[in-house]
Chains A and B, each alone.
Chain A
Amino acid sequence: MPRNELELLRGTLDVLILKTLSWGPAHGYAVASWIEQVTGDALRIEEGSLYPALHRLEKRGLVRSEWGVSENNRRARFYELTEMGRRELATGMSTWSAFVEAVGQVLNSADRPAWAA
């Protein structure tokens, strides 16, 4: 994967993780599975990259983690959105929407630029 694409993804991945956790506490595998399930094969990410992202979010205080017991009775690390994380998600979502809208306007525009008229 080219580097700048990775950088773009990292920010996007953060928002995806926060969005996933907004449904409730989950362990890393659950987060990965859910993202995969929702996006299908459209976003192909290496699952490993999820974990540094989770821990960085924790370092920034956007999520917190706690060891708990998984659905199959295994010890697992559960992540939970903090209040700060909730706010960050809201900001991230509106930024993302604005970005998508802006890109969409350009791509869908029927007007030609002046120099191409």
Chain B
Amino acid sequence: MWRRYLRFLGRDIGADVEEELRFHLEMRERDYVARGLDPRLAREEAMRRFGDVEAVRREVEEVDRSVYRTIRRRDWWDGIRQDVRYGIRTLGRSPGFTLVAVLTLGLGIGATAAIFSIVNAVLLKPLPYEAPERVVEVVNRWEGEPEGRLSPLEFFDYRERLRSFESMGAYATGPANLTGDAAPERLEVGYLTDGVFQSLRVAPELGRTFGADEDRPGGERVAVLGHGLWTRRYGGSEQIVGESIQINGRSTLVIGVMPADFRIPAELDNGTTVDLYMPFQLDRTTIPNRGSHFLLALGRLAPGVGPQQAAMEIERVAAEFVTEFPEDYSRDMQFGASVRPLTEAVLGDVRPLMLLLAGAVALVLLVACTNVANLLLVRADGRRRELAVRSALGASRARVTRQLLVESLMLAAAGGVLGVALATAALWALPLVQPPHLPRLSDVRMDWAVLAFATGVSLATALLFGLVPAIQAARGEVHPVLRESGRTSTPDARRSRMRGALVVGEIAMAVVLLIGAGLLLRSLIALNRVDPGFRTENVLTMRVTLPSSDYPDDDGVVRFYRESLDQIAALPGVEAAGAVSNLPLATSLGDLNFQIEGREVPEGETQARADYQAVTPDYFDAVGMRLVRGRGVEPSDDENAPGAIVLNEAVANRYWPGEDPIGVRLLLGAGAGPGWVTVVGIVADVRHASLTEPPNPEMYIPHAQFRHWSGGEPIRSLSFAVRTSGDPTALVSGVRAELRRVDPDLPLAEVRPLAEIRADTVAQPRFIAFLLISFASLALILAAIGVYGTLAYLVAQRTGEIGVRMALGAGASGIARMIVGQGIGLALVGAALGIAAALGLARLLEHLLFGVATTDPFTFIAVPATLVVVAALAAYLPARRATRVDPLVALRAD
């Protein structure tokens, strides 16, 4: 009903009001005059009776303006509603186009949203500490180790001397057994000194944390539960605070529970989950040397102190150590120390990875947008007559443009909804592809941030792909189109150039993604071919930790492992059973100095050094390590036998190049132990740290003799390795039963096949390769659709021309060749551009690649070749349609 008034309301509200009021005043004046009043007085009287004319005029105008605004708004929405209805009709009329466009956008937006949710949780969200940018990691530095840990004495000295810190703490993690209240369970315990909670400043969810009172030698045994353990084992009961639990057989008072998102930096960094936190209770009087570096340290900077300032101060203190304790810090150790922001320490490694994924998925989204833009352009050509008719019937250009943008927005909205659904599904399926450890990956979920992001991306894509056709339509030439005699119109050169450019761009981006995926795949294959020096198939592994309360001395520990390994070896199907202090590819090793008998150590130089392992007899057989010379560790190398040691080839080659070290005697730990050990054998190298790094020098000490040089302290925690004749997992229950027979209270941890450990080490490259291959395949399919769509349209447009050619004698194969040739031409230009871009971008992959160059010729030739073949196939379908053109029909249509 309002539309009727729009014309005059819209004309000039001010003039209308003016006229209405003037009419009133003049009428009144006339009345007075008619009653015989003097005209001048009549005018004055009329004004007086009216009141404040100016105020009334303003008030009325304001009312009318608000009416006008309401009408305009309502009209606009009516128009949009009309556009939407119209859009639904037109989109419904071409379901094929709509389906492909929505699917394309859905895949693009879905992939982007999924990656964003990962990047957001892992990288973008601040660390769960108060003012995390003020917390720094404190690291030592020495020859070959830029990020070394601290020894307790170093930590105490740093804490005393450094002024740059408001608080400072150190920690380490280790296993412990939880018994008593339920089935025995092996826990990962975070041992924290006073200052860790204080530096991170995280309030407990329940109870309290601990400080200097408990963190002192002989302090009370207390524990703060992690949220996971609390809910898992104690059902989230608040009663647990104040109760005592049995940790390693000793009563420990629970004083608090940490919130769900609390993690100490080590958990974020390497993916271990700490179940509970206990005061470290380090005793500086019982740790005589400064050489055993096992503490991670962090601190909160004092107000006004920056990381650089703190780094300079700690460098100075480290230099003091070197002068004060020359016997602990040799010159060629090049000892130093530094600090770095915790965020950098924890997230620095994953940032390039996250950026790579974000960049790759952005390319996919761009390809998707390009594709839809292309489809829209093709479609816009088909609709030129329709739009021209609408224009002729009075729709303004703005109106037509808006109609097209509304359609684009509808496509984007549908794509966005589909994308969010796909992203949700992808996040749900994330664990199925066994992603690698990424800090906070478990926090990834579909949340408001992701939804907001997906909405923004959908809007942006609508503008990206919708703007070009809309602009073209807006400057559309109405009359020429109407005068054209239908479909024989020759394709507008500008439009087809635009479409060609879009397809070429699409292909180039697909090539970049495909080359990236190809390089990562080649690298993954190379990784899987690496010989680690042991055989992973058919080996079951698990870890056992003996509590000192039940196994107070070395004898008990040695007896336990000997008996349990004997029992396991007797199980049917077991070929060899051994144990080692640290399984390869799963853990890092400590190293140990040693002296070689008969060799002088020059003043100020480091003694010989190698990583060490404690092994039981049969361990080498169990994991399939190869004995090079001499013998392995035998049952006779027991606690009473003379000390024996097995070296790997890396040790032998470094310290005895061209010689045979068998029979040579070594003094381990710089003489800390009571005696000499004799080299009895050489084994082949094992890649312990990772598949990609060359093996380290490593020495193997019989577990039973460990106390010869460790001062009587046994290694309580060993990993079993059991080689079987068949499926190793089938053996789990048998091994568990045997161990329970030896010690019913003992929990098993990390029960898994050795092959799985190896697979875990390639989890990250596998994950990245998987994602990039998915993205690249998607881009390839989209590019093929782009080529197909463009050529199919060209064929349809050129039916007349093709008919003429055929009438003039051109053969079907010639026509087909022409069309396919065009497709290949587009692909070649796109591939060339893509190769050029990939040559530049591949350098970003350099640190992710193993055994393949960033300019790998195979990838750089095979990938574009594949793409050209795909483009030719995509061009073949329209080409075949072109050959079916009947010249008579085509010409008669004119």
Residue numbers of A with Cβ under 8 A of B are 27-29, 32-33, 46-49, 51-52, 55-56, 58-59, 64-67, 70, 72, 74-77
Q: Which residue of B lies closest to A52 (CB)?
A: B59
Does A48 lie within 8 Å of B52, measured CB to CB? yes
Docked pose: A74 CA to B26 CA in angstroms: 10
Taking the complex as formed, is B742 at the interface, i.e. its CB lies under 8 A from any CB of chain A? Answer: no
- Of A52, A67, A70, A76, most buried by chain B (CB within 10 Å of CB) is A52
Tally of B interface residues using CB under 8 Å: 28
Q: Which of A47, A65, A66 contacts B28 (CB 8 A)?
A: A47
Docked pose: A58 CA to B60 CA in angstroms: 11
* Closest 8 pairs (CB-CB, A-B): A46-B51, A48-B51, A48-B56, A55-B63, A29-B27, A52-B59, A48-B50, A29-B24
What's the minimum C-beta distance from A35 to chain B, rounded to whole angstroms?
Answer: 13
Does A48 lie within 8 Å of B63, measured CB to CB? no
Does A47 lie within 8 Å of B24, measured CB to CB? yes
Can you list 23 A-B contacts (CB < 8 A)? A27-B23, A28-B24, A29-B28, A46-B51, A47-B24, A47-B50, A49-B56, A51-B21, A51-B56, A51-B59, A52-B60, A55-B60, A55-B64, A56-B63, A58-B63, A59-B70, A66-B5, A67-B8, A70-B27, A72-B30, A75-B19, A77-B16, A77-B23
What's the minimum C-beta distance from B25 to chain A, rounded to whole angstroms?
Answer: 9
Given contacts A46-B50, A49-B51, A64-B5, 5 further A-B contacts (CB under 8 A): A47-B28, A48-B53, A51-B59, A56-B63, A76-B23
Chain B residues, CB < 8 A from A64: 1, 5
Docked pose: A51 CA to B64 CA in angstroms: 11
> Which of chain B's residues 6-54 have a Cβ closer than 8 Å to chain A?
8, 16, 19-21, 23-24, 26-28, 30-31, 49-53
Q: Which residue of A lies closest to B26 (CB)?
A: A74
Chain A residues, CB < 8 A from B24: 28-29, 32, 47, 51
What's the minimum C-beta distance from A91 to chain B, rounded to whole angstroms?
Answer: 21
Does B56 lie within 8 Å of A59, measured CB to CB? no
Taking the complex as formed, is B67 at the interface, i.e. its CB lies under 8 A from any CB of chain A? Answer: yes
Q: Which of A28, A59, A66 contacts B20 (CB 8 A)?
A: A28
Does B49 lie within 8 Å of A29, measured CB to CB? no
Chain B residues, CB < 8 A from A47: 24, 28, 49-51
Taking the complex as formed, is B733 at the interface, i.e. its CB lies under 8 A from any CB of chain A? Answer: no
Q: Which residue of B lies closest to A67 (CB)?
A: B8
What's the minimum C-beta distance from B55 to chain A, rounded to whole angstroms?
Answer: 8
Docked pose: A47 CA to B20 CA in angstroms: 13
What's the minimum C-beta distance from B157 to chain A, rounded to whole angstroms?
Answer: 81
Chain A residues, CB < 8 A from B67: 55, 58-59
Taking the complex as formed, is B66 at the interface, i.e. its CB lies under 8 A from any CB of chain A? Answer: yes
Residue numbers of B with Cβ under 8 A of A are 1, 5, 8, 16, 19-21, 23-24, 26-28, 30-31, 49-53, 55-56, 59-60, 63-64, 66-67, 70
Does B56 lie within 8 Å of A29, measured CB to CB? no
- Of B5, B28, B63, most buried by chain A (CB within 10 Å of CB) is B63
Q: Which residue of B lies closest to A49 (CB)?
A: B51
What's the minimum C-beta distance from B366 to chain A, rounded to whole angstroms?
Answer: 50
What's the minimum C-beta distance from B14 to chain A, rounded to whole angstroms?
Answer: 13
Q: Which residue of B lies closest to A44 (CB)?
A: B49
Does B60 lie within 8 Å of A59, measured CB to CB? no
What's the minimum C-beta distance from A17 to chain B, rounded to whole angstroms?
Answer: 14
Chain A residues, CB < 8 A from B51: 46-49
Chain B residues, CB < 8 A from A49: 51, 56
Docked pose: A47 CA to B50 CA in angstroms: 5
Chain A residues, CB < 8 A from B49: 46-47
Q: Which of B23, B28, B55, B66 contacts A74 (CB 8 A)?
A: B23
Docked pose: A48 CA to B60 CA in angstroms: 10
Docked pose: A72 CA to B49 CA in angstroms: 22
What's the minimum C-beta distance from B76 to chain A, rounded to whole angstroms?
Answer: 19
- Of A28, A59, A72, A77, most buried by chain B (CB within 10 Å of CB) is A77
Chain A residues, CB < 8 A from B59: 51-52
Docked pose: A29 CA to B20 CA in angstroms: 9
Does A75 lie within 8 Å of B23, measured CB to CB? yes
Chain A residues, CB < 8 A from B23: 27-29, 70, 74-77
Q: Which residue of B lies closest to A56 (CB)?
A: B63
What's the minimum C-beta distance from A10 to chain B, rounded to whole angstroms?
Answer: 12
Chain B residues, CB < 8 A from A29: 23-24, 27-28
Docked pose: A65 CA to B49 CA in angstroms: 24
What's the minimum C-beta distance from B427 to chain A, rounded to whole angstroms?
Answer: 51
Does B20 lie within 8 Å of A77, measured CB to CB? yes
